């Protein structure tokens, strides 16, 4: 039966915006063109948003550039108060933000409420970092010289975010940019623009000055808008979260203007369970890590490696947990997992399952599309007997499919885990302290979870290595991505006191 998507009304209907936010005003595209946004669960129309073009984007960049000279002169404490007020408004309206997330993204309402709070936490964290962007005093090697550094905002920033976390990916970039004193043009994902536009409305209410934050939308013109941002000499920093392929394209487009870049790109996270792990804890960790947002996160476990001595026990317990999932519309009572974002996601998930079956894998739970619910639903799936020649071993699935690979030794599993071009997150479960250090140091990833399947925290530096990108978001390091370090050397400072 198709999901009963009775959308609960917003408590504050004015948060639902269908225009872009530029220079403190709500505007349409100059062409008048719009694109449709549909509920991935029901396929029904949610609303329309402006189809911005290069011309529209250039205008938003010009506005951000005009706002930068005055905003950069605000004190860190002033910017902290702005971010804190924006944070409080997000918390006050968290339920409505969650409703929008579920409506356009499809994730269950409980998950969406978690994201709304997590997203707000970045504004809280960076409001506390804003007054503490200090430089250093450095001991010179030349007598009479004195050296110090100043941290300055890099300038206008172009921020490009994905659809899987419509609120958190925005705040994780906008928060440090504003804390540093930068102005921004944020390109919202075409699949999920309404959450970011609600955040823009809250920015307006928080008193963020005109032109400091600008939210633009596009779907068909996404490549054109991205090119406008990367090619503009006015934009001094680009932060992008998305696929590795698009990241490489944006990097190439940014070369002529030598921008500062930070990219959080594709992942293919290994999740390793050693035979000395607490089995129940490992099973629960794997469930949380693999199936959060129906597997549509860049740090989801994509390859689950289980040591042979406990493989059968782990597989049985893991499969039993997955059988208890309830798939449906995000607002429906008791639903644990919602739809995938679109038909392309369904096609890739199905292809990975069929490939594993063809090469000897055994589907023990799920494995099929759920057409009775709608075109974007797929059964949470567990496959045993996985081998390294299967597509799932080398490609990110980005869906609710858990493939269980057996292994024998540490060296073997680390070699398998590292045999990919990407390196975002990796996880393992073990009760051996020495093993914890050995394996953590050997995994070629930017983030490691030991005896936990969740590593995201506004206080932690988030980012990868290899084809998963560079730069860090969150933490003290996150604000540095939006700053430059200016060195000042003062000469002639070693003179004796006058009168001596």
Annotated catalytic residues are 264, 298
DSSP string, 211-253: TTEEEEE-STTHHHHHHHHHH-SSEEEEEEES-HHHHHHHHHH
Q: Kindly give, in sequence order, each residue whose CB lies less than 8 Å from that of residue 294, ignoring residues fewer than 6 positions away.
A: 106, 107, 337, 338, 339, 340, 378, 380, 399, 400
Helix (H) or strand (E) holding 441: helix 433-442
User: How far apart, in whole angstroms, are the C-alpha atoms of residue 175 and residue 172?
Assistant: 6
For residues 348-358, one letter each, b for 16 or more C-beta atoms within 10 angstroms of the residue's C-beta and e for the rest, the string is: bbbebbebbee
User: How far apart, in whole angstroms, are the C-alpha atoms of residue 35 and residue 190?
Assistant: 8
Strands annotated E in 100-179: 137-138, 146-153, 156-160
SS3 34: strand
Strand partners, 429: 273
Contact call for residues 161 and 188 (beta carbons, < 8 A):
yes
Q: 147: burial class by Cβ within 10 Å (0-12, 13-18, 19+)?
A: middle
């Amino acid at each position: 039966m198709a999901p009963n998507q009775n959308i609960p009304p917003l408590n504050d209907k004015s948060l639902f915006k269908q225009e872009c936010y530029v220079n403190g005003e709500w505007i349409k595209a100059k062409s008048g063109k719009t694109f449709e946004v549909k509920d991935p669960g029901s396929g029904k129309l949610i609303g329309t948003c402006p189809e911005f073009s290069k011309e529209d984007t250039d205008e938003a960049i010009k506005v951000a550039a005009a706002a930068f000279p005055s905003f950069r002169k605000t004190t860190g404490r002033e910017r902290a108060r702005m971010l804190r007020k924006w944070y409080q408004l997000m918390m006050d309206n968290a339920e409505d933000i969650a409703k929008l997330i579920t409506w356009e993204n499809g994730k269950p309402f409980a998950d969406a409420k978690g994201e709304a709070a997590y997203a707000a936490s970045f504004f809280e964290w960076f409001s506390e970092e804003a007054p503490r962007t200090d430089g250093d005093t450095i001991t010179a090697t030349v007598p009479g010289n004195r050296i110090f550094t100043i941290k300055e905002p890099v300038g206008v920033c172009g921020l490009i975010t994905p659809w899987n976390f419509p609120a958190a990916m925005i705040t994780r970039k906008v928060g440090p940019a504003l804390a540093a004193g930068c102005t921004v043009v944020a390109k919202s994902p075409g699949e999920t623009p309404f959450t970011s536009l609600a955040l823009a409305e809250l920015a307006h209410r928080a008193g963020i000055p005109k032109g400091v934050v600008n939210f633009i939308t596009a779907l068909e013109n996404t490549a054109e808008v991205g090119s406008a941002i990367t090619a503009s000499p006015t934009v001094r920093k680009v932060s992008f979260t998305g696929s590795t392929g698009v990241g490489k394209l944006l990097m190439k487009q940014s070369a002529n203007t030598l921008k500062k870049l930070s990219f959080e790109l594709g992942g293919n996270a290994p999740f390793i369970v050693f035979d000395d792990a607490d089995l129940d804890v490992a099973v629960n960790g794997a469930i949380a890590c693999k199936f959060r947002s129906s597997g549509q996160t860049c740090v989801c476990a994509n390859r689950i490696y289980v040591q042979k001595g406990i493989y059968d026990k782990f597989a049985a317990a893991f499969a039993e947990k997955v059988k208890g999932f309830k798939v449906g519309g995000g607002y429906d009572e008791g639903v644990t997992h919602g739809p995938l974002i679109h038909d392309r996601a369904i096609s890739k998930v199905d292809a990975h399952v069929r490939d594993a079956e063809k090469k000897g894998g055994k589907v023990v739970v799920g494995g099929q599309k759920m057409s009775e619910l709608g075109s974007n639903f797929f059964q949470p799936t567990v496959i045993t007997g996985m081998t390294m020649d299967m597509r799932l071993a080398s490609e990110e699935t980005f869906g609710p499919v858990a493939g269980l690979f057996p292994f024998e030794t540490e060296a073997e599993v680390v070699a398998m885990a590292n045999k990919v071009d990407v390196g975002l997150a990796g996880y393992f479960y073990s009760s051996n302290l020495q093993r914890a250090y050995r394996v953590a140091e050997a995994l070629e990833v930017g983030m490691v979870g030991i005896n936990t399947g969740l590593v995201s925290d506004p206080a932690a530096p988030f980012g990868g290595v290899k084809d998963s990108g560079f730069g860090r978001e969150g933490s003290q390091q996150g604000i540095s991505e939006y700053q430059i370090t200016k060195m000042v050397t003062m000469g002639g400072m070693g003179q004796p006191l006058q009168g001596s």
